[in-house]
């Protein structure tokens, strides 16, 4: 076998180089060659394995650092969820209080609903007052929680790094939140929502509704009494007297069975037929002058009454008022003097040595020459003399009216009742119309106050920028002295140790589109609902449910809020179609629908790894310089407090492992308050 040449031409023998130890004379490998090859191969295998182990363990410090940065972001994520739940509570309480007061405003327009309206308005005011106190307390609590948030982030990062240590492989590290100081703006939570203007409008609406209801009651009572005098025998009535005295029947003398179907036009028409018929039917009851005089006096009165009732009228006007006039018929001699009967020259006169007035020329006392006609007023004026036989005078005319008016079987008796009730009815309807105008004015003022109150809630939601909002930078060290496992080095390699290492990483929060936006609030409300005292009854029943729906809908920009409000207001009894209350309810629902509250992004935030320079640059740092500074500030051995001090984070002295109460949440419509307490030990875990 040729193994080479000394100078390119001369053949060398194996013995010249000691090759014979490895290659035999016949050209094959010797036992020594095989043993050496096997030894080298095994040494290389174990060497590569040890190298791979060292490389893998060296890279693990970066994975641990990534987990540490994300652990810090978990605390920020938990805080953001807490802050959004608090904002949802404040906003939903404000909406619930305002809607409750809106329902009270609607109830204020319901006849007889003033008592319930006052209770609902008081409940709405209490909710808004509770909302104001809760918002103030919650802002103070959130700011306090943000104050200790940096230390909690550092501590969570320390815990994550330490948890990844195993055996001799020790990790230490922490997460630095950026920004370090809170830049959140909670001013919208403290927006003033004073209900005074709405309360004042509700009070005016209640007063006007009460007046309208009273006027309506008076009008209905007057209408009922007039209907009874016209159609109900007690002991008689206008209709039955018309049938008995004038023989009126059918369409000339109709009768209604209820006051709702009756109106003042019916007695007017009845009386026109009645007096026309009485005048046509009138004849003396005897042939003597007294009977003739009485008949003539009655005829005169019927003509007068017929003229009067033909002047009567009744109209229903727009706006609820009525225009009616039912004449008052004279009922005695004194009132006869105020009519044309007294002054009308319709009585014949003769010369009996003095001009004498007679009921008729058939009077036995009319023996002189005819001298024309005169009125009974002329007798009292001295122009003519009263006949001593027929004695026609104003007293005879007054007696006709008086007897029929005073007696309960007289037609004019019931007519007089209807006339008096018509005046009461007209006054009551005018009062009702005026009160309803005031109701409409107060309702419009209430709608405007309701809209302005809602507008105070449509401000932008709180701007959350807590410590760690830009992200969290993780810094993790691995201690030196960790030996390479003996199984890898054994007797083939000398013992080695894993060198110390350090890594920097960053994580930030990103919305998780796979999570439902209402899941967090639904779970929160369900947890609250299991508390004792979470219910009310009576007129306020439904407020808790309304608040729950408002709360859970916080993340949807309240797209269905008008339906919630309409459903809640439908619970206000007595809101009838066409009433001011119904009109007002529709207006308030439209106001809510047009509110357009700013949507809140309730998607769960989860930490994701980002380039360290992105977080540092957003916080205003030079990425490379700040990373080098962080690495240089790493303490060799420290707990969370030591890491916090090294990273420039304020240390919390005690209490960081207990419960932190942000505020006590008053449940709208229920006499119970639920403390919102955060478990600091488990925050972000």
- Which pLDDT score, from 0 to 100, does residue 81 have? 85
- The phi, psi pair for 680, rounded to 5°, reads -65, -30
Residue range 430-437: mean pLDDT, rounded: 92
- pLDDT band of residue 4 (cuts 50, 70, 90) is very low
Dist. CA 474–CA 472, nearest whole Å = 6
pLDDT over 70 (residue 537):
no
- Which pLDDT score, from 0 to 100, does residue 320 have? 81
Dist. CA 404–CA 422, nearest whole Å = 20
Whether the CB-CB separation of 607 and 507 falls below 8 Å is answered with yes
- Is the sign of the CA dihedral 346, 349, 355, 356 positive or negative? negative
- Is the sign of the CA dihedral 47, 49, 55, 61 positive or negative? negative
Give per-residue pLDDT as tens, 484-524.
555 555 555 454 555 677 888 999 988 877 655 556 777 77
Residue range 328-351: mean pLDDT, rounded: 93
Would you report the helix, strand and coil content of the chain in percent, each value rounded to 5?
55, 10, 30
Chain centroid, CA 262 distance in Å:
43
Give per-residue pLDDT as tens, 593-639.
666 666 566 777 889 999 888 888 888 887 677 777 777 777 766 78
Question: What does the block give as tokens for 532?
Answer: 């004792």
- pLDDT band of residue 476 (cuts 50, 70, 90) is confident
pLDDT over 50 (residue 1):
no
- Which pLDDT score, from 0 to 100, does residue 485 have? 57
Q: What is the overall mean pLDDT for the chain?
A: 81
- Which pLDDT score, from 0 to 100, does residue 184 have? 85
Dist. CA 134–CA 675, nearest whole Å = 11
- Which pLDDT score, from 0 to 100, does residue 18 have? 60
Closest of 398, 399, 422 to residue 238, by C-alpha = 422
Whether the CB-CB separation of 376 and 393 falls below 8 Å is answered with yes
Pairwise pLDDT comparison (517 vs 305), residue with the higher score: 305
- Which pLDDT score, from 0 to 100, does residue 560 have? 61
Longest dimension (CA), the chain: 200
DSSP letter for 185, please. Answer: B
Whether the CB-CB separation of 123 and 546 falls below 8 Å is answered with no
Chain centroid, CA 167 distance in Å:
61
Give per-residue pLDDT as tens, 72-98.
999 998 888 888 888 888 888 888 888
Counting residues of the chain whose pLDDT is more than 90, the rounded percentage is 32
Question: What does the block give as tokens for 296?
Answer: 């003539």
Region of 331 (left: φ > 0; alpha: ψ -120 to 50; beta: rest) is alpha
- Which pLDDT score, from 0 to 100, does residue 55 have? 57
SS3 76: helix
- pLDDT band of residue 244 (cuts 50, 70, 90) is very high
Give per-residue pLDDT as tens, 13-70.
545 456 666 666 666 767 767 777 776 666 666 555 556 555 556 667 888 899 999 9
The radius of gyration of the chain from alpha carbons, rounded to an integer in Å, stands at 53
User: Angle 215-220-222 (CA atoms, 0-180°, nearest 5)?
Assistant: 95
Other CB atoms closer than 10 Å to residue 166's CB: what's the count?
8
- Which pLDDT score, from 0 to 100, does residue 88 have? 82
Give per-residue pLDDT as tens, 541-578.
677 777 777 777 776 655 566 666 777 776 655 544 45
SS3 315: strand
């Amino acid at each position: 076998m040729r193994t080479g040449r000394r100078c390119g031409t001369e053949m060398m023998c194996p013995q010249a180089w000691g090759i014979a130890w490895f290659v035999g004379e016949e050209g094959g490998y010797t036992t020594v060659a095989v043993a050496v090859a096997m030894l080298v191969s095994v040494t290389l295998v174990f060497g590569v394995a040890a190298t791979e182990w060292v490389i893998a363990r060296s890279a693990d410090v970066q994975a641990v650092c990534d987990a540490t940065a994300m652990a810090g972001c978990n605390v920020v994520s938990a805080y953001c969820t807490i802050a959004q739940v608090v904002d949802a509570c404040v906003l939903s309480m404000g909406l619930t209080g305002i809607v409750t007061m809106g329902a009270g405003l609607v109830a204020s327009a319901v006849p007889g609903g003033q008592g319930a309206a006052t209770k609902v308005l008081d409940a709405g005011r209490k909710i808004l007052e509770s909302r104001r106190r809760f918002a103030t307390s919650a802002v103070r609590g959130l700011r306090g929680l943000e104050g200790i948030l940096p230390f909690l982030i550092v501590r969570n990062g320390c815990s994550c790094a330490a948890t990844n240590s195993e055996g001799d492989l020790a990790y230490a590290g922490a997460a630095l939140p950026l920004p370090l100081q809170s830049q959140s703006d909670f001013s919208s939570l403290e927006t003033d929502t004073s209900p005074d203007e709405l309360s004042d409008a509700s009070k005016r609406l209640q007063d006007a509704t009460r007046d309208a209801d009273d006027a309506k009651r008076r009008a209905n009572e007057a209408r009922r009494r007039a209907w009874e005098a016209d159609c109900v025998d007690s002991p008689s009535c206008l209709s039955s007297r018309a049938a008995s005295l004038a023989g009126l029947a059918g369409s000339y003398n109709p009768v209604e069975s209820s006051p709702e179907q009756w109106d003042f036009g019916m007695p007017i028409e009845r009386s026109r037929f009645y007096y026309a018929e009485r005048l046509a039917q009138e004849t003396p009851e005897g042939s003597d002058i007294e009977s003739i005089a009485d008949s003539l006096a009655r005829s005169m009165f019927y003509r007068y009454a017929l003229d009067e009732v033909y002047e009567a009228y009744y109209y229903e006007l727009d706006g609820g008022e009525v225009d009616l006039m039912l004449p008052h018929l004279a009922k005695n001699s004194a009132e006869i003097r105020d009519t044309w009967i007294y002054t009308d020259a319709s009585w014949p006169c003769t010369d009996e040595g003095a001009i004498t007035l007679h009921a008729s020329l058939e009077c036995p006392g009319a023996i002189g020459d005819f001298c024309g006609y005169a009125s009974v007023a002329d007798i009292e004026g001295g122009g003519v003399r009263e006949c001593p036989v027929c004695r026609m005078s104003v007293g005879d005319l007054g007696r006709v009216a008086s007897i029929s008016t005073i007696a309960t079987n007289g037609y004019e008796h019931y007519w007089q009742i209807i006339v008096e009730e018509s005046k009461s009815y007209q006054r009551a309807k005018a009062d009702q119309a005026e009160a309803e105008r005031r109701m409409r004015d107060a309702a419009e003022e209430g709608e405007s106050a309701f809209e302005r109150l809602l507008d105070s809630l449509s401000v932008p939601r709180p701007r959350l920028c807590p410590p760690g909002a830009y992200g969290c930078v993780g810094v993790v060290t691995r201690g030196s002295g960790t030996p390479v496992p003996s199984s890898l080095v054994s007797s083939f390699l000398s013992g080695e140790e894993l060198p110390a290492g350090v890594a920097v990483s960053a994580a930030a929060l990103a919305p998780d589109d796979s999570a439902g936006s209402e899941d967090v609030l639904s779970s929160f409300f369900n947890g609250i609902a299991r508390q004792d005292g979470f219910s009310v009854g009576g007129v306020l029943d439904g407020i808790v449910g309304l608040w729950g729906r408002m709360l859970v809908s916080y993340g949807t920009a309240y797209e269905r809020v008008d339906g919630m409000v309409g459903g809640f207001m439908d619970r206000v009894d007595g809101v009838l179609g066409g009433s001011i209350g119904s009109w007002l309810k529709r207006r308030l629902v439209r106001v809510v629908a047009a509110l357009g509250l700013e949507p809140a992004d309730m998607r769960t935030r989860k930490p994701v790894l980002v380039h360290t320079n992105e977080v540092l640059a957003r916080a205003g740092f030079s990425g490379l310089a700040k990373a080098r500074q962080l690495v240089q500030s790493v303490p060799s051995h420290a707990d969370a407090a030591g890491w916090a001090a090294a990273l420039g984070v304020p240390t919390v002295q005690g209490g960081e492992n207990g419960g932190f109460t942000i505020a006590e949440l008053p449940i709208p419509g229920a006499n119970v308050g639920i403390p919102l307490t955060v478990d600091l030990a488990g925050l972000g875990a």
